[in-house]
């Protein structure tokens, strides 16, 4: 029986378990708040184009432009800090950021990036109109997620979007193409 089974129970919870469940909820809320604040402090003030370029650089699709390099470094260091906090607390956050993190750490990820470059012609930041995460939680610790791409022209004119998706299981630590 996991913590979420305890939270969903219809029968009364053993009073001895209540403080542990409350503590777990507080720790999760604190980590989720820290994540939101960290990413807002990094991405706040950037336009959609710069956020897309930052995300593309983070996943290895392009080299980071000089003007975004400090934000990318900050983004990566904050993400590592949050991972460390999760580990210290013994918690695993079930969110899109974790799903994308697991996805981009797959052994086949560099081959995927190379194939996207080949198919789309992406070489630099100027080739990107929109590059963004997408995701939908389909079960506890299971996400259908990936990336969307629009050329600069398609982005300006609300044109076609390319989508890549995987099913990511955070508990099993696997990602499968959808």
Dmax (CA) of the chain: 60
Which range has the worst mean pLDDT, 10-14, 71-75, 119-123?
A: 10-14
Which range has the worst mean pLDDT, 7-16, 94-103, 111-120, 164-173?
A: 7-16
Pull the structure tokens for residue 11: 């029968």
CA 92 to chain centre: 14
Summarize pLDDT for 15-52 with one digit per residue, the tens. 776 676 677 677 767 766 766 676 677 777 888 899 99
pLDDT for 31 equals: 66
CA distance 157 to 34: 36
pLDDT for 163 equals: 96
Do 67 and 74 meet the contact criterion of CB atoms below 8 Å apart? no
pLDDT for 11 equals: 63
Summarize pLDDT for 53-106 with one digit per residue, the tens. 999 999 999 999 999 999 999 989 988 887 887 778 776 677 888 899 899 999
pLDDT for 85 equals: 79
Do 152 and 127 meet the contact criterion of CB atoms below 8 Å apart? yes
- The yes-or-no verdict on residue 4 having pLDDT over 70 is no
pLDDT for 1 equals: 45
């Amino acid at each position: 029986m996991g913590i979420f089974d305890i939270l969903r129970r219809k029968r009364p919870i053993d009073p001895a378990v209540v403080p542990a469940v409350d503590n777990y909820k507080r720790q999760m809320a604190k980590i989720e708040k820290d994540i939101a604040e960290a990413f807002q402090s990094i991405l706040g003030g950037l336009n959609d184009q710069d956020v897309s370029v930052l995300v593309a650089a983070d996943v290895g699709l392009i080299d980071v432009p000089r003007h975004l390099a400090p934000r990318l470094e900050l983004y990566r260091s904050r993400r590592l800090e949050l991972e460390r906090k999760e580990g210290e607390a013994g918690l695993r956050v079930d969110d899109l950021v974790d799903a994308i993190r697991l996805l981009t750490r797959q052994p086949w990820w560099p081959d995927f990036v190379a194939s996207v470059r080949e198919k789309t012609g992406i070489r630099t930041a100027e080739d990107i109109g929109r590059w963004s995460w997408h995701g939908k939680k389909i079960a506890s610790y299971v996400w259908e997620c990936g990336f969307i791409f629009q050329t600069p022209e398609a982005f300006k004119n609300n044109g076609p979007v390319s989508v890549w998706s995987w099913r990511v299981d955070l508990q099993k630590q696997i990602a499968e193409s959808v």
